[in-house]
A = this chain, B = another copy of it.
Amino acid sequence: MALEFNVLNTTEAGGRRGRIHLPHRTVETPVFMPVGTLGTVKAVAQDVLENLGAEIILGNTYHLYLRPGHEAIRRMGGLHRFISWPRAMLTDSGGFQVFSLSALRKVTDEGVRFRSHLDGSSHFFTPEHSMDVQIALGADICMAFDECTEYPADRKRAEESLRLTLAWAQRSLDHFQAHRHEVPWHEELGGKTQSLFGIVQGGMYRDLRRESVERLVEMDFDGYAIGGLSVGEPRDLTLEMIAEVLPLLPADKPRYVMGVGYPDEIEMYARMGVDMMDCVLPTRAARHGLLFTSEGRLNIKGKKYAEDQGPPDPACECMVCQRYSRAYLRHLMHSGEALSATLNSIHNLAYYLGIMEHVRKSLHSDGGDS
């Protein structure tokens, strides 16, 4: 009743062309998932995301728990209905934001006490509570509550963090299995339920990463994420960890690398066998005027674009590149106009989603072993 995952083709390099059947959408993989922190992919309306071909977007549990609150969203039928997004969604566990945004947090075996970055109010998150919040939000995929190990972390710290994350993973799974039928759309969708992914941690220690995988696979999650990357480590270390973990994960379950990356990274990881990725980079960079194009990165604020009537990316077929010039985008940015963030974000998302579409095609046609 949770997800069904089909691998359509696997290349020699390990890249997989797949399909994840979720309650709200069948998602073609490898897939890039735009981040919709507070129930909106910043500055981009839902119909535009649909036209861009986004099949699954993220919501952040920490943010939505604080505003408007998971109980309110539950009463309104869940996140899909609340934000009017009929396709698939994934929520993170709240763990990463608790560690990166909140103040005065205190971690115990039981959970994390922290103060809201908004108003200083005190909150306590446990694995069980994270599951309750995520079940109320009702995304198609939930994530186990984990502790994200900071970088750098010494071995003792990484071991201790992994011990906590593994204990929380089991508690997340137990609570999720006991309550998954409480998702707001359970009856409406004929008894379908959410899926839960475990998160591989272990800092930058290969043996801890291996141990993490082994223990999580024993617990048997619906899919597996590699967390604790893109936390400041050099890129070759990110790659090393992904390369270490991927072959150990079960081939018949989706593999998700959280919070990556630049365009060349998401393409590389997809070709290595990563099925799902998410990142704020395309939209956050867009708001700062950084466009990703087939010709490289383009800072639209540059004076040299003041009268450049060419499209942002001559090779791009997105609605922004088909209609607007670099000069106009620069003008919008310089003038502080709201349309700037919108158009820049649409192009960057189109570029990211286009990379994945291209990779999917090439993974499908490459000789494979499945």
CB within 8 Å of B: which residues of A?
38-40, 42-47, 67-68, 72, 75-77, 81-84, 306-307, 309, 319, 323-325, 327-328, 331-332, 334-335, 337-339, 341-343
Partner of A338, one of B43, B77, B83: B43
With A67-B331, A83-B328, A328-B84 known as contacts, the answer to whether A47 contacts B338 (CB < 8 A) is: no
Min CB distance, A306 to chain B, in Å? 7
Q: How distant is the Cα of A203 from the Cα of B328 in the complex, in angstroms?
A: 38
Residue in chain B with minimal CB distance to A67: B335
With A307-B72, A331-B67 known as contacts, the answer to whether A337 contacts B82 (CB < 8 A) is: no
With A72-B306, A323-B84, A328-B82 known as contacts, the answer to whether A338 contacts B341 (CB < 8 A) is: yes
Q: Give the interface centre of A44, A319, A327 by most chain B CB atoms within 10 Å.
A: A327
Partner of A68, one of B40, B45, B306: B306
A-B contact pairs, 13 of them (CB 8 A): A38-B332, A40-B338, A42-B338, A45-B342, A45-B343, A46-B323, A47-B319, A47-B323, A68-B334, A82-B328, A83-B328, A84-B323, A338-B342
Is the CB–CB distance between A38 and B319 below 8 Å?
no
Min CB distance, A84 to chain B, in Å? 5
Min CB distance, A28 to chain B, in Å? 25
Is the CB–CB distance between B82 and A325 below 8 Å?
yes
With A76-B307, A76-B309 known as contacts, the answer to whether A337 contacts B42 (CB < 8 A) is: yes
Min CB distance, A285 to chain B, in Å? 15
Min CB distance, A242 to chain B, in Å? 32
Q: How distant is the Cα of A342 from the Cα of B42 in the complex, in angstroms?
A: 11
With A67-B334, A334-B68 known as contacts, the answer to whether A43 contacts B339 (CB < 8 A) is: yes
| CB-defined contacts of A334 to chain B, threshold 8 Å | 67-68
Q: How distant is the Cα of A339 from the Cα of B37 in the complex, in angstroms?
A: 12
Q: How distant is the Cα of A332 from the Cα of B67 in the complex, in angstroms?
A: 10
Q: Give the interface centre of A39, A307, A324, A331 by most chain B CB atoms within 10 Å.
A: A331
7 further interface pairs, Cβ-Cβ under 8 Å (given A38-B335, A39-B331) = A45-B342, A47-B323, A67-B335, A75-B307, A76-B325, A82-B328, A84-B328
Is the CB–CB distance between A327 and B68 below 8 Å?
yes
Q: Give the interface centre of A39, A47, A334, A339 by most chain B CB atoms within 10 Å.
A: A339
| CB-defined contacts of A332 to chain B, threshold 8 Å | 38-40
| CB-defined contacts of A68 to chain B, threshold 8 Å | 306, 327, 331, 334
The 6 closest A-B pairs by CB, nearest first: A43-B338, A40-B339, A38-B335, A68-B331, A84-B323, A40-B337
Residue in chain B with minimal CB distance to A331: B68
Q: How distant is the Cα of A328 from the Cα of B44 in the complex, in angstroms?
A: 15
With A68-B306, A306-B68, A309-B76 known as contacts, the answer to whether A339 contacts B84 (CB < 8 A) is: no
| CB-defined contacts of A327 to chain B, threshold 8 Å | 68, 72, 76, 82
Residue in chain B with minimal CB distance to A38: B335
| CB-defined contacts of A75 to chain B, threshold 8 Å | 307
| CB-defined contacts of A39 to chain B, threshold 8 Å | 328, 331-332
Q: How distant is the Cα of A327 from the Cα of B75 in the complex, in angstroms?
A: 12
| CB-defined contacts of A339 to chain B, threshold 8 Å | 40, 42-45
| CB-defined contacts of A45 to chain B, threshold 8 Å | 339, 342-343
| CB-defined contacts of A328 to chain B, threshold 8 Å | 39, 82-84
Q: How distant is the Cα of A53 from the Cα of B247 in the complex, in angstroms?
A: 55
